Every structure is written in structure tokens, then in C-alpha cells.
Amino acid sequence: MGVDVVLYRAVSVGTGRRRHVPMELLPDPDDALLDLVRRVRGTGRTPVLDQVDPVGLLVVPADWADSLLAELDRLAEAARGPAELAHVHRLEGLVHRLRADREMELRFEGD
């Protein structure tokens, strides 16, 4: 019941139409991200991550990237070992790509 993170890019598919194409996937098969989010939820320091739903969808637009990057510091602090910390760093890489390209969005996709 993890939360996969997928980086999408909006592409034109005709006059005025756009669709989102997946660019990169960060799977969460061992629930590492879900466990981390649960540890920081409700602290008042992670308003974006508090919206992650283990069975739903959270779409994070590029203009939220700076806020999300700040919140990832809270996740890193909550990490319990190198595997969880590595997961946070991979997520950070996706958020940096999101921040650099306004045509992208990040989706937290619950199971």
C-alpha cells in the first residue's frame, strides 16, 4: 500500500489540447515513503506532504516545488536508515526536475 511518485510532462496533442506523459517513476514497494509521510504528518511543517493519500492521488504543480523541497528536509530528518534516506534523495531529484520545468507535475499515486 505504498505511494508511488511519478513525474509527468504536459505535451500538446492538438489544438489547445494537452495530455500528461509519465517521464520518471519512483516506486514505493516497501512503503518507505508512506512510512516517512506518516511520521511527519500533522507536525505543521509539511503542508504539502500532509495531503498525500495512501489510496488516492495528489497532484503537485511546478509552482509548489520550492515548498515541497523544504518539506523533504523534514522527511530526511525522520528517515530511519540509509534506505529511507536514499528514497528521500531520489524524490528530491524529481522535485528539482519539477522546479526546472513548468510543463511538469509530480503525482503521488496511492495504491
- What does each C-alpha distance from 67 to 13, 16, 47, 49, 52 come to in angstroms? 30, 30, 9, 10, 14
Domain extent, residue 106, equals 3-110
pLDDT in tens, 12-44: 888 878 899 999 999 998 999 999 999 999 999
Residue 99 belongs to a domain with what CATH number? Answer: 3.30.70
Q: What is the pLDDT of residues 28-85, one digit of tens each?
A: 989 999 999 999 999 999 999 999 999 999 999 999 999 999 999 999 999 999 999 9
What are phi and psi for residue 16, nearest 5 degrees?
70, 5
Give the count of domains, the chain: 1
pLDDT band, very low/low/confident/very high, at 1 (cuts 50, 70, 90): low
Measured in Å, how far apart are the chain's first and last C-alpha atoms?
A: 5
What's residue 111's pLDDT?
Answer: 83
Mean pLDDT across 84-107: 97
